[in-house]
Chain A
Amino acid sequence: MGLGTLVVILVITGAVSLAVGARALSPAEVWHGLFGGPDADQRLTEIRLIVRTVRVPRTVLAIVAGIALGVGGALIQGYTRNPIADTGLLGVNSGASFAVVTVIAVFGLANPFQYVWFAFLGAAVAGVVVFGLASIGRGAGNPLTLALAGQGITVFLAAMTTAVSLSDKAALNALRFWNAGSPAGVGFDVIWPVSAFIAAGLVLALITLPALNLLNLGDDVARALGVNIALSRTIGIAAITLLAGAATAACGPIAFLGLMVAHVARYLTGPDYRWLVPYAGLLGAIVLLLCDIVGRLVVRPGELDAGVLVALLGAPFFAVLVWRGKFKSV
């Protein structure tokens, strides 16, 4: 499967995402909603409103967050050289969750728009702390130390999150919806800044891809070939923190997506990260968008969160591929 095919699939899925929902729209109606001017007709005005304020933001966010989580998943597996590393490993998800319950418990914020930035802050701080701890001293940024330090901080933050949510019912209530993870219900006032962070993360990611390939030959080989190991690791971890942190802040934690698409991408492209990472990004966007669409259809009139569906739909498919021996370790 080529990159072009994936882009075409993504565009088609995006178009379907604009049309499908509580009120199904025809292609002509979607077109009008996107590009039509103000109308006297009540029905067309309504359609325009639905498309522009509901469908477009959630479609854009699903694509942006999907790319971020896919790329982040491929990078974290590369930098920790661990095939079961997920985007949450650097403490990003648990940092965001902790920030969310804390601001709700302490400041009593109730509106998700208010805690998006706290979530991002929590994710970023957790990422920086993990990387800082893993870079102290001799074994600076050694993949194993990084993975375990991330795990230790994640464990600690998860415990704190539970402690706060057990003592504050409002925080627990917000946490359970936040945990489900969904690109729905966020406006462009959040999406633009989040996309800017993700774009910055993508640029950093692309810069380090050649070095990441060499790092996977082992530190000694990479150093002999002229890679500045500390620098490229720092850039790589910064990229992962930006990508996963921004996506998590906007959608809530979406587990398993990054891990899954990184393995599928590795199966499609082989171990070269210059190919693997773009594939993982596109696959991430397609999977998240598809799950979001399916979530609108299965439990009508309600919705099932995309984060839940990623695991429910993706995991069995992934398990079949695993069983057939399609995947290789990092």
Chain B
Amino acid sequence: MNGTEVKPSVAPGVRLGHVSFVWRPWVALITLLLVAATFLVFCLSIGVGDFPIGLPRVAATIFGRGERVDEFVIMDLRMPRALAGLVVGVALGVSGAITQSIARNPLASPDILGITGGAGAVAVFLVTVSGGAATAVVDAVGLSAAALAGGLGTGLLVYFLAWRRGLDGFRLILIGISVSAVMEAITTWLLASADIRDVARAQAWLIGSLDDRSWEEVRVALWCSLVLLAVVTCVAFQFKPMQLGDDVAAGLGVRYTMVRAVLLLCAVLLAGVAVSAAGPVPFVALVAPQVAMRMARCPTPPMVASGMVGALLLIGADLVARTALPVDLPVGVVTAAIGGPFLVYLLVRANRG
């Protein structure tokens, strides 16, 4: 020791009653910026269209101070689509962050919890196998609802198959991968043996889309995801110690089996909400947490920031798909085309130091 004092790099803790967290200015700043950016893109997405509306007027109308004309165009016509993008993006981002944290694997995403595979297989089955019971089901409840039921059923199947004296992250993802592989094989087989016109319809559904959303659909998705996010917020405070390992978490008084089970159930249901509102939009849940993690410079995927990156990606991609591209592409394609390279860019930049 020659007199130079090494400053500890520990971030200060904050305690408010029973709640305590670590104050990281950079994470907070990035999260705030992401929220602001999401709101901006959200307003932009509403403002752009055949009848363009300026940003201030959009913002004013959202807060209930707009004119009658604007109110009709914004609240009745464009809001459902933008709100669907927001809800789906946040749900997928948070769901992905939970899955990757619990599995402690950056390649994990809710896709491997079975939701996407199950919903896809059911939807493709209903589209390609016409006649009889399949048509009756589609007429009765609609394609999206039937697919959602299939997805949730598969997700819960994975969840219970993986349960053996508690929920182990590694076992869960391997079981999830196997069940998803079965569902994808069924989808592939159905597509290969179906009529080509049905295949095009099925393919369009499989990639996910925000077109023609109605207020009813969006409202249900919005409330469901709000409830789920509230649950996640309550449990998430117990989640941090778990990333140090089960033994440490148990030593710190965390009931890790319960916390993990609740969080995973929330991840499954959030992914289900997203499927119900937009179809199985691929890759958002995988890319968003990794991007958020690198922007916020966190060791694990940050929940709020992941949700915001997911929403930004989805609304932004929808905006690009509607305005900048000459051909009409579903939002899922554009999301992947933007999200994939952006992740690679972040990796390369990090490598260069």
Contact = CB atoms under 8 A, between A and B. Distances in A.
B192 A323 contact: no
B334 A166 contact: no
Contacts of B185: 307-312, 315
B333 A162 contact: yes
A70 to B, nearest CB: 16
A255 interface: yes
Interface stretch (A43-51, A146-154, A206-214, A280-288): A146-154
21 contacts: A82-B107, A145-B350, A147-B106, A151-B340, A155-B339, A155-B340, A156-B337, A156-B340, A162-B333, A163-B329, A169-B200, A176-B188, A176-B192, A177-B192, A179-B192, A304-B189, A314-B181, A315-B178, A323-B162, A323-B171, A323-B175
Nearest to B204: A166
Contacts of B112: 84
A177 B194 CA distance: 11
Contacts of B335: 159
Contacts of A137: 348, 351-353
A159 B336 contact: yes
Given A176-B199, A256-B178, 17 more contacts: A84-B108, A84-B112, A84-B173, A133-B347, A138-B352, A148-B347, A151-B107, A163-B327, A163-B329, A166-B207, A166-B333, A173-B196, A179-B191, A180-B188, A255-B181, A311-B185, A316-B178
B178 A318 contact: yes
Interface in A86-143: 89, 133-134, 136-140, 142
Contacts of B343: 148, 151-152, 155
Q: Which of the four size classes fits the interface of chain A?
A: 35 or more
Interface string B9-31: 00000000000000000000000
A304 B162 CA distance: 29
Nearest to A163: B333
A37 interface: no
Interface of B: 105-108, 112, 161-162, 164, 170-171, 173-175, 177-179, 181-182, 184-186, 188-189, 191-192, 196, 199-200, 203-204, 207, 282-283, 286-287, 290, 327, 329-330, 332-337, 339-344, 347-348, 350-353
A263 interface: yes
A214 B171 CA distance: 26
Nearest to A182: B192
Contacts of A85: 107
A145 B345 CA distance: 11
A172 B194 CA distance: 12
A255 B178 CA distance: 11
A138 B353 contact: yes
Contact of B341 (A89, A152, A316): A152
B344 to A, nearest CB: 4
Interface of A: 82-85, 89, 133-134, 136-140, 142, 144-145, 147-149, 151-160, 162-163, 165-167, 169, 172-173, 176-177, 179-180, 255-256, 259, 263, 304-305, 307-312, 314-316, 318-319, 322-323, 325, 327, 329
Given A85-B107, A173-B196, A325-B171, A133 B348 contact: yes
Contacts of A319: 161, 174-175, 178-179
Contact of B344 (A139, A153, A165, A307): A153
A156 B287 CA distance: 11
A250 to B, nearest CB: 18
B105 A158 contact: no
Contacts of A89: 107
A166 B203 contact: yes
A179 B190 CA distance: 12
Given A136-B352, A162-B203, A179-B191, A256 B181 contact: yes
B192 A305 contact: yes
Contact of B107 (A147, A173, A177, A329): A147
A137 B184 CA distance: 37
Contact of A158 (B191, B282, B344, B353): B282
A155 B164 CA distance: 33
A322 B171 contact: yes
A157 B290 CA distance: 19
B196 A138 contact: no
B333 A159 contact: yes
A157 B177 CA distance: 21
Nearest to A89: B107
Contacts of A154: 340
A308 B106 CA distance: 27
A149 B287 CA distance: 11
A154 B111 CA distance: 15
A133 B352 CA distance: 11
A156, A159, A311 pick with most chain B CB within 10 angstroms? A159
A180 B178 contact: no
A322 B178 contact: yes
A165 B335 CA distance: 17
B123 to A, nearest CB: 15
A151 B286 contact: yes
A90 to B, nearest CB: 13
The 10 closest A-B pairs by CB, nearest first: A159-B336, A155-B340, A156-B340, A311-B185, A137-B351, A315-B178, A152-B344, A311-B181, A152-B343, A137-B352
B199 A145 contact: no
B55 to A, nearest CB: 29
